[in-house]
């Protein structure tokens, strides 16, 4: 054996590949199945009913009355108003069509049946499977390594944020994430810019959050400002067209204003820092400020689709934006799901920093749910576990209702917030691409217990919910 061959063998033995076995995936499958059956959140109820309301009004010949009909709230939902375009719910409605027919024939109330809700949630699980498929394909394009692809899939499937968005909340975020990933794959694998723009346009129709990574990606490889504006306009035009098509629908604008989506708008401006002196009463959004700096960096950087490291830079700036978004914008626990596939690809394609990346990702995935719970969000509330489908109990925040000292919660939340911010700062700076292309075999060993904690973390929050359910009798 030559010295070079011995060196490569040693490097391979230190690779991240020897720290992942079938037992981890089996455990993820078992926990996913438990979460799938055990948790029912109010958002799943609302979105399921809203998707089937499309068939109610369509077969009654009154499609234009969709928003009025939904606002009548015949199912007694917590959410009275549909805060999205019903076109965005159409794929889910198609999936739920057989369930809608059976419910009509059997006289079953969709919002009061566990079986109908399980069928509806299964749509999100199918979308997650496609997400994992495209995560694997993108990882193979970038690294040419099945090991890296396996790790990217593991990090995505085993993330607390994935459990929270898909199995707990039952939110549609997984769908717009899938469309965005397909667009990224088309750009990286086939250099197909048209398909990239098409799938991002569809993603924005579902929810417009991936607009924040679309712009930096375009700025990386396109330097003509008119072309940049045109391409952003084409992607954003799909959402604008969907909104224009909704204008003839009575109560559409009122539903948008009164619905849950309008709350998201204010979060982009908070937190903020004072500007123009202490007496100006003007603040600057931290997220908008940092996001603008990222966009300027992408525009000034010399890069093109043909560059060897374009994929690395594309994933890096996308993950940086979403990390900043997660820490400075969103307090909605399931929204962080949109970060997970991108960050998993960054981690899997950077084995030189694998151990530290996994450590700080683990810290982040633990801290953000804790902050959400302490902030009064209805995350892992006992009323959502093996629920009797009591809408009020499913949305009840235990911390707000059962812990009187709000200051104590704020202090604890601030403590975990500081740790989360530190983790984000590390992940952004540690993964800054180097000039030299790193071979995948030059991996960093990661202790087995870190991987096991990452895998088992969802059990901790499930036990927390079960314990509260037992103690409080909810």
Percent of the chain with pLDDT over 70: 81
Contact 251, 83 (CB under 8 A): no
For 67, residues 6+ apart whose C-beta sits below 8 A from its C-beta are 81, 82, 86, 249, 250, 251, 252, 254, 255
Q: What pLDDT shows up at residue 7? A: 42
Per-residue pLDDT reduced to its tens digit, 37-70: 888 888 888 999 999 999 999 999 999 999 999 9
For residues 294 and 112, which has the higher predicted lDDT (pLDDT)? 294
Tell me which H or E stretch contains 441. Answer: none
3-class secondary-structure state, position 261: coil
Per-residue pLDDT reduced to its tens digit, 194-220: 999 999 999 999 999 999 999 999 999
Fill in the DSSP letter of residue 385: B
Instruction: Select from 362, 313, 17 the least CA-distant residue to 142.
Output: 313
For residues 87-111, give the mean pLDDT: 91
Contact 168, 334 (CB under 8 A): yes
Alpha helices by DSSP H, 207-285 = 211-221, 225-246, 252-258, 262-267
Tell me which H or E stretch contains 13. Answer: helix 3-13
For residues 376-397, give the mean pLDDT: 64
For residues 380 and 31, which has the higher predicted lDDT (pLDDT)? 31
Q: What pLDDT shows up at residue 162? A: 95
- Residues 129-165, buried b or exposed e (16+ Cβ, 10 A)? ebbbebbbbbbbbbbebebbbbbbbbbbbbbbbbbbb
Contact 444, 355 (CB under 8 A): yes
Contact 54, 93 (CB under 8 A): yes
Per-residue pLDDT reduced to its tens digit, 158-201: 999 999 999 988 888 999 999 999 999 999 999 999 999 999 99
For residues 249-267, give the mean pLDDT: 73
Q: What pLDDT shows up at residue 10? A: 38
Band of residue 254 on the pLDDT scale cut at 50, 70, 90: confident
How many helices (H) and strands (E) in the chain? 22, 2
Per-residue pLDDT reduced to its tens digit, 100-154: 999 889 888 888 888 899 999 999 999 999 999 999 999 999 999 898 999 999 9
Q: What pLDDT shows up at residue 269? A: 60
Band of residue 352 on the pLDDT scale cut at 50, 70, 90: confident
Strand partners, 456: none
Q: Where are the domains of the chain?
A: 20-268+276-468
User: For residue 276, is pLDDT > 80?
Assistant: no
Q: What pLDDT shows up at residue 38? A: 87
User: For residue 438, is pLDDT > 80?
Assistant: no
């Amino acid at each position: 054996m030559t010295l070079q061959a011995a060196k490569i063998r040693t490097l391979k033995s230190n690779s991240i590949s020897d720290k992942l076995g079938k037992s981890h995936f089996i455990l993820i499958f078992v926990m996913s199945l438990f979460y799938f059956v055990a948790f029912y959140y109010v958002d799943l109820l609302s979105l399921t009913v809203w998707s089937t309301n499309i068939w109610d009004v369509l077969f009654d010949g009154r499609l234009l009355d969709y928003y009025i009909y939904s606002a009548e709230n015949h199912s007694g939902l917590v959410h009275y108003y549909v805060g999205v375009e019903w076109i965005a719910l159409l794929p889910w409605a198609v999936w739920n069509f057989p369930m809608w027919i059976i419910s009509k024939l059997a006289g079953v109330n969709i919002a009061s049946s566990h079986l109908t809700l399980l069928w509806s949630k299964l749509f999100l699980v199918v979308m997650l499977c496609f997400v994992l498929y495209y995560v694997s394909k993108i990882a193979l394009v970038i690294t040419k390594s099945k090991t890296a692809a396996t790790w990217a899939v593991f990090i995505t499937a085993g993330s607390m944020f994935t459990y929270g968005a898909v199995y707990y909340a039952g939110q549609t975020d997984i769908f717009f994430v899938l469309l965005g990933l397909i667009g990224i794959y088309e750009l990286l694998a086939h250099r197909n810019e048209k398909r990239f723009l098409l799938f991002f346009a569809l993603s924005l129709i579902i929810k417009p959050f991936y607009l924040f990574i679309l712009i930096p990606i375009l700025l990386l490889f396109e330097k003509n400002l008119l072309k940049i504006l045109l391409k952003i306009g084409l992607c954003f035009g799909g959402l604008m067209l969907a909104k224009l098509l909704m204008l003839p629908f009575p109560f559409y604008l009122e539903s948008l204003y009164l619905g849950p989506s309008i709350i998201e708008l204010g979060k982009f401006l908070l937190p903020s820092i004072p500007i123009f002196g202490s007496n100006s009463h003007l603040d600057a959004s931290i997220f908008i400020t940092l996001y603008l700096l990222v966009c300027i960096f992408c525009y000034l950087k010399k890069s093109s689709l043909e560059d060897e490291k374009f994929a690395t830079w594309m994933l890096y700036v996308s993950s940086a934006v979403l990390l900043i978004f997660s820490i400075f914008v969103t307090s909605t626990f399931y929204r962080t799901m949109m970060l997970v596939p991108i960050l998993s690809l960054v981690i899997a394609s950077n084995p030189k920093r694998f151990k530290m990346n996994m450590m700080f990702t683990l810290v982040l995935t633990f801290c953000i749910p804790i902050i959400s719970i302490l902030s009064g969000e209805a995350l892992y509330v006992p009323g959502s576990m093996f629920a009797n489908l009591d809408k009020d109990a499913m949305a009840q925040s235990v911390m707000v209702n059962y812990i009187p000292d709000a200051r104590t919660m704020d202090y604890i939340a601030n403590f975990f917030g500081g740790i989360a911010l530190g983790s984000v700062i590390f992940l952004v700076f540690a993964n800054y691409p180097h000039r030299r292309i790193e071979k995948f075999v030059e991996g960093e060993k990661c202790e087995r217990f870190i991987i096991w904690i990452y895998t088992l973390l969802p059990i901790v929050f499930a036990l927390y919910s079960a314990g509260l359910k037992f103690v409080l009798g909810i």
